[in-house]
Amino acid sequence: MPKRILQGVVVSDKNNKTVVVNVERRFSDPVLRKIVRRSKKYHAHDESNSVKVGDIVKIRECRPISKLKKWEVFTDEA
């Protein structure tokens, strides 16, 4: 099964090897007929502590690393 990939902005890097990424999605509301924005924060594993606040990163679904961390920061190497 393919792993989900999301893109978002880093809002916190205070924890060791962990970053908090805010992912925003846009969709059309069926009743209001408007574009609505919803955001959610994900805890992601950053092994090298290289990501800083404000960076735009991609996160990939992975095995559970801790209670909250089920995502990892990755780079496209293609």
Q: What is the pLDDT of residue 77?
A: 61
Residue 8: φ, ψ to 5°: -160, -175
Between the alpha carbon of residue 25 and those of residues 1, 18, 28, the distances in Å are 23, 22, 10
From first to last of its 78 residues, the chain has per-residue pLDDT tens of: 788 999 999 999 999 999 999 999 999 999 999 999 999 999 999 999 999 999 999 999 999 999 999 999 997 665
Q: Which tokens in the block code for residue 78? A: 């293609």
Q: What is the CATH number of domain 5-74?
A: 2.40.50.140
- pTM across the whole model: 0.89
Specify the DSSP class assigned to residue 3.
P
User: Looking at residue 75, what is its pLDDT?
Assistant: 76
